[in-house]
Amino acid sequence: MSNPGDCTAVIMAAGVGSRMTDLTYQCPKPLLPVGRFPLIWYPIKSLEKAGFSDIIIVTRQSWHDQIQNALSVDGCIDRVRLEYIEIQDSDECGTADSLRIIADRIKTNVLVVTCDLISDCDLADLMAVHRKNNSSFTVMLSQLPTTIIGDTPVPGFKSKQKNSDAEKISIGFESSNLEHVVFWKARIDIEDEEESISFSKKFLDRYPCTRIQSTWTDCHVYMINKYIVQYLQEKKNKYFNSLQSELLPFVVKKQMSTFVMDKPLDDMEMSSPESPGKQEKKKDLVDYAANTDNDLNLIKYLSLTSSSFGSSEDAPQKNLIGCYAYRQTSGFCVRANTIAAYFEACKQMPRLISKFVGAKKTQTQLNIPESTDIKPKSQVGADCMLGECVTIGEKVSIKKSVIGKHCKIGDKVKITNSVILGHVNIQESCNITNCIIADSANIGDKSELTGCIVGQNQTISTMSKYTNEVISNSSQMMEVTLE
């Protein structure tokens, strides 16, 4: 395995997409199309850009063949080797559970990336922050998702649209090193928005100057030291189901821990019949940190600038655990884990696709392939993207939209600010605005759809009018397994 920095890359692709079931009840979330590629293709390309040639994909057993087939298309993935590890569909596994399951495959530090991340950042920058700070757990943060999605009108029922603030985190950064995360609390865990955050005296003694910020979103990209994976595996702690909501806050708190080496019993204590003997201490995370093979743990005893200089190896040791953050402040970054985020990510692809596929083709060639058939007097905006083998009739207007492969657009159709997935048939004189139309749907002529989600294989009758509705089979919706 030839990966940068002695690191294993893992993509988590087993989540069912519980916040976007209108789109995922028949299509695995990793395979939702974004532009002309499946969603999981984008984190693969980000890892490839960072120098990875081997990637582990953790996915559901029933999705394995579908994902493998989708990524086997010529030109989709050509420079990385993918290894698939299956999780039983019946298992309710969080991201920490999944990491524990594959722990035997991880012999190095691990870079965990969610399958719904679309970002043009260089993950090598996150790895550099991890190495520079001798970090135990490094998280990627961004303010960009809120900036990008905040003003997006979301298709579907208004009552189903969730506030993106629920994903915000209150994070404390050490003032002397703003990459150092010393406090972590999800906003959803704060019952009252005006609730004050309290700190212990021990915390304030350790970090007297802490800067609290609540403007960052966790991108669910984590660089994790191998001893934490070992801790997860050996402890088999069922309390850790999620990396983001359970393991990460735990590791942040454990930065306060001090390691004290056990003193061996002398001969008198061991031979005394009255001495019951000292019980073996249960290993905590700090014990794993102290015992890890890390040259920096030795160097600090030799460095003149280290607070541990001159100390003996059996002296109490602090700062063995460290949590740090890489913050993306420019470019594009979004987690397509909600309808709003997915909708906006799709619409941004016409201008972003060149950052993922390189500059081998012009922007026009990337957005409108040669296999497209566009009849006279039709207009396709520069801010649009068309899939392979799309047929467009006469006097059609398409603006700020993405059209999937093998779609047929009839004469005099107007499509604005919409995402149309593959094999959709839109008959003549339809008006589609701010909509998502799923695979193989059929829209009857002279229909008007505004702010709607049309489910897979749905048929909209002639001259229909819908506004802010989700149109799908109720029987299909009942098949969704709620998390």
Would the CATH topology of 7-166+214-258+320-349 be identical to that of 368-471? Answer: no
Q: Which of 240-244, 253-257, 296-300, 334-338 is predicted least confidently?
A: 296-300
pLDDT tens readout for residues 157-172:
765 555 455 567 889 9
pLDDT exceeds 60 at position 263: no
Pairwise CA distance, residues 234 & 249, whole Å: 19
Residues 14-40: what's their mean pLDDT?
89
Pairwise CA distance, residues 8 & 225, whole Å: 11
pLDDT score of 462: 96
Residues 450-479: what's their mean pLDDT?
82
Pairwise CA distance, residues 15 & 67, whole Å: 13
pLDDT tens readout for residues 128-149:
999 999 999 999 999 876 656 6
pLDDT exceeds 80 at position 364: no
pLDDT score of 366: 79
Q: Where are the domains of the chain?
A: 7-166+214-258+320-349, 368-471
pLDDT band at 303 (very low <50, low <70, confident <90, very high): very low
Question: Options 3.40.50.2000, 3.30.1490.20, 3.90.550.10, 3.30.230.70; which CATH number does 7-166+214-258+320-349 get?
Answer: 3.90.550.10
Higher pLDDT, 164 or 207: 207
Contact 392, 406 (CB under 8 A): no
pLDDT exceeds 50 at position 301: no
- Which residue is listed with tokens 């897979």? 456
Element (H, E) at 431: strand 431-433
**Tokens in use for 302?**
């030799």
Higher pLDDT, 266 or 467: 467
Residues whose CB is less than 8 angstroms from the CB of residue 60 and which lie 6 or more positions away in sequence, other chains included: 14, 28, 86, 87, 88, 89
What is residue 162's three-state secondary structure?
Answer: coil
Check: pTM over 0.75? Answer yes or no. yes
pLDDT score of 78: 77
pLDDT exceeds 80 at position 340: yes
pLDDT band at 474 (very low <50, low <70, confident <90, very high): very low
Farthest-apart Cα atoms in the chain, separation: 100
Pairwise CA distance, residues 187 & 166, whole Å: 6
- Which residue is listed with tokens 């249960």? 282
pLDDT tens readout for residues 419-440:
999 999 999 999 999 999 999 9
Query: Average pLDDT of the chain?
Result: 84
Residues whose CB is less than 8 angstroms from the CB of residue 311 and which lie 6 or more positions away in sequence, other chains included: 301
Radius of gyration of the chain (CA): 26
pLDDT exceeds 50 at position 7: yes
pLDDT score of 237: 59
3 state SS for 197-210: CCCCHHHHHHCCCE
**Residue 56 CB coordination number (10 Å):** 20
What CATH class has 368-471? mainly beta
pLDDT exceeds 90 at position 284: no
